[in-house]
Amino acid sequence: MLKFTANLSLLFTEADLIERFEAASRQDFTAVEIQFPYALDAQTLKNALTAAGQKLVLFNVDADDLLQGGEGLACVPEKQARFRQAVAQTLAYAEVLKPAAINVLPGRCLNESRLPKYMKTFKENLCFAADAFAPLGIKTVFEAINTCDMPGFIIHSGAQMLAVLDELDRPDLFMQYDVYHMQMMGEDPIRFIADHADKIGHIQFADCPGRAQPGTGRIDFERLFSAIEKSGYSGWVGAEYKPMGTTLDSLDWFRKLERERSRR
């Protein structure tokens, strides 16, 4: 049976972040994820999770200017010291919140001639993060992002993620597989997940194109969810989409699954 999380950075944004935990709980989500939780202190987040009866499954290491069009943090050679500071911040939150996984966003290289150095830096930083989080029993994950939405993103395919995993060969390191991003890159998420479920530490989804809720694009979510369930993947599946309309109006896919489960 699939385990779903609500991404509180994109869902329930009709309310302030501190109020989204309870809003998600009212819709029967027992777990949530947040892209960057650092606007609130860790204890405040823990209190909100406890009050809502939820687990925080995943959050990201800070990515500096990535969402504003910059190169981010994890791959930029000149920012390596700042990345380590960001990992220390994330570790302090992780000690309180105890997520299942922490995501390291690779970032962009806007000068292609520097790409080999950026890739080397990213791999070094990824290992540094894994060394920090592994003693807490937390998986380190990293994700590929499509180059339509983020030109220059250094990891943008399933094959690249597999290559990094094979090269680094760490038992505590996994890929975060985002169905929307890989569909945008022309990949077949159903086949990829079936073939590589053992190397995936977290899955996220949105429909494609548009990155809205299931039913607004071309993805057959009945097939997708069935494939994930059959693949042997046992982790969480994150609803990380931008609702078309209100969050509540976007949850028909979730309500349908809950009704089907109640009939079993």
Q: What is the mean pLDDT of residues 37-55?
A: 98
pLDDT-based confidence at 262, cuts 50/70/90? Answer: confident
pLDDT value of position 143: 98
Delimit the domains of the chain by residue range.
Answer: 3-263
Residue 66 has pLDDT above 90, yes or no: yes
Catalytic residue check, 124: no
Residue 263 has pLDDT above 80, yes or no: no
The fold for domain 3-263 equals TIM Barrel (3.20.20)
| Tens digits of residue pLDDT in 124-134 | 999 999 999 99
Q: Give 167-231 as a DSSP string.
A: HH--TTEEEEEEHHHHHHTT--HHHHHHHHGGGEEEEEE--TTTS-STTSSS--HHHHHHHHHHH
What's the CA dihedral at 249, 183, 239, 5 to 10 degrees? 160
Residue 258 has pLDDT above 70, yes or no: yes
| Tens digits of residue pLDDT in 91-134 | 999 999 999 999 999 999 999 999 999 999 999 999 999 999 99
Residue 172 has pLDDT above 90, yes or no: yes
| Tens digits of residue pLDDT in 128-169 | 999 999 999 999 999 999 999 999 999 999 999 999 999 999
Length of the chain counted residue by residue:
264
Please say whether the beta carbons of 17 and 52 come within 8 A.
no
pLDDT-based confidence at 1, cuts 50/70/90? Answer: confident
pLDDT value of position 136: 98
Among residues 143, 187, 258, 260, the one annotated as catalytic is 143
Catalytic residue check, 260: no
| pLDDT cut 70: percent of the chain above it | 100
Q: What ranges make up the beta strands (E) of 49-122?
A: 55-60, 101-104
| Tens digits of residue pLDDT in 213-256 | 999 999 999 999 999 999 999 999 999 999 999 999 999 999 99
| Prediction pTM value | 0.97
Among residues 33, 71, 187, 240, the one annotated as catalytic is 240
Q: What are the backbone dihedrals phi and psi of residue 108, each rounded to the nearest 5 degrees, phi first? A: -115, 155
pLDDT value of position 254: 97
pLDDT-based confidence at 85, cuts 50/70/90? Answer: very high
Residue 264 has pLDDT above 70, yes or no: no
